[in-house]
Chains A and B, each alone.
Chain A
Amino acid sequence: MATTIEKLREILALTSNDLAFEVNETESLHDQGVDSLDLMDFYLNIEDEYGIQIPDSDVDSLHTLQDFVTYVNGKL
């Protein structure tokens, strides 16, 4: 069974295929080339995959892949 980090990389690959398995977990996704529109898609796909809602108020704290792992695990 895929870990959360592996699953998030698969989800990221839906829109940023060339970056999804290259991005560093602790560096800002935006700084690593994931643009704002692909980030919006990423949030949406995470919501669909996990059945969770990511309110706008939480978005500002989600910068790195590790941030997303912590966030998703906290919601499950």
Chain B
Amino acid sequence: MIGITGIGTYLPEGRISNFDRLEKFDTDEDFIRNKIGILEVAVKADDEDTSDLAVKAYRDLESKNDIDKSKIEVLIVVTQNPDTNIPHTSAIVHGKLDFPESCAAFDISLGCSGFVYGLSIIKSFMESNGFTNGVLLTSDPYSKIINLDDKNTSFLFGDGATATLMTDNPVYNIGKFTFGTIGKEGHNLQCDDSVLSMNGRSIFNFAARYVPGDVKNLLQKNEWEADNIDKVIFHQGSKYILDTLVKRTRLPQEKAINDILHYGNTVSSSIPMILAKVMDDEENKCVLISGFGVGLSWSSNLLFRNKK
């Protein structure tokens, strides 16, 4: 069975401080620190594009795992801010990394739920084709579409990328998934003319209402008890939504990870960015991951450490 073998990450060096904008947005440090929970957002360099962030995440993956590039059979990039419309960003990454011609490469257009959906897609693609080596990349630099004068969005989103190695000798096996979409509410998180707009209240309500029920469904589907989860990684929208979800799902606060203080919400990279650290601890035998947002869509999964 195909599962997660390793994860590489990349965060650009650039940062925009939210404290530098308190006066502009008529807010205070307490709100930034204790409600938004993001002190600064990561921002890519002007000469970095979506594919470049993905390549750097792959290089980190390579540095931590023994990878024979010639054996990679599939490369998927999750992004909604590609380098360009045509060709797809995964093809550009394929070229930059000089992957084998036999390797399949395609993009998935999803946002904050993208990593979890992506896991299902790459696992299914690999298993149905008898593949044993694949890479799932997430790279969705929202700095391309954020209006820095928009308080609703500019405090939140940061740039980053991840690369997840999928093989038949995994660290984490992948459990059963849940999925969902409310397309008629998609306009609440939308990009028009390259500018993102977000109805914060609608997105908050959506997450607060749907994620707790989804977590319950996930546990039932996997026949698993909440007490036997070691770590919970929700999509890192903001501290406020994370705290709200912990309360509403009744999962133990100490098991839910919040890691966005110094880089922000990296969209589809937010879950794997944390999972990369979580998987280093062998005590983390079962990890719940839950992505939700753009679409509006959601997907959750339980990861189970492989007994070796």
A residues with a Cβ closer than 8 A to B are 35-37, 40-41, 43-44, 56, 59
Segment from B67-75, B86-94, B202-210, B268-276 that makes contact with A:
B202-210
In the complex formed, the residue of A with least CB distance to B31 is A35
- In the assembled complex, how far is the CB of residue B9 from the closest CB belonging to chain A, in whole angstroms? 28
A-B CB proximity, top 10 nearest:
A37-B240, A37-B35, A40-B204, A40-B201, A44-B205, A44-B208, A35-B31, A35-B35, A56-B201, A41-B244
From A14, which residue of chain B is reached at the shortest CB distance? Answer: B247
Whether the Cβ atoms of A44 and B204 lie closer than 8 Å is yes
CB distance from A37 to the nearest CB of B (A): 5
The A-B contact count (CB < 8 A) is 24
**Residues on the A chain within 8 Å of B35, using CB:** 35, 37
CA–CA, A20 and B205, complex, Å: 21
Report whether A40 and B205 are in contact in the complex, using a CB–CB cutoff of 8 Å. Answer: yes
Complex Cα distance, B31 from A56, in Å, reads 23
A59 touching B201 by the CB < 8 A rule? yes
What are the interface flags for B207-223 relative to A under an 8 Å C-beta threshold, 1 for contact and 0 otherwise? 01100000000000000
Q: Please judge, given known A-B contacts A35-B31, A35-B35, A37-B35, whether A56 and B202 are in contact too, CB under 8 Å.
A: yes
- Shortest CB-to-CB span from A51 to chain B, Å, is 13
Assembly CA distance A59 to B199 (angstroms): 13
Query: Can you sample 12 A-B contacts with CB below 8 Å?
Result: A35-B35, A36-B200, A37-B31, A37-B35, A37-B240, A40-B200, A40-B201, A40-B204, A41-B244, A43-B201, A44-B208, A56-B202
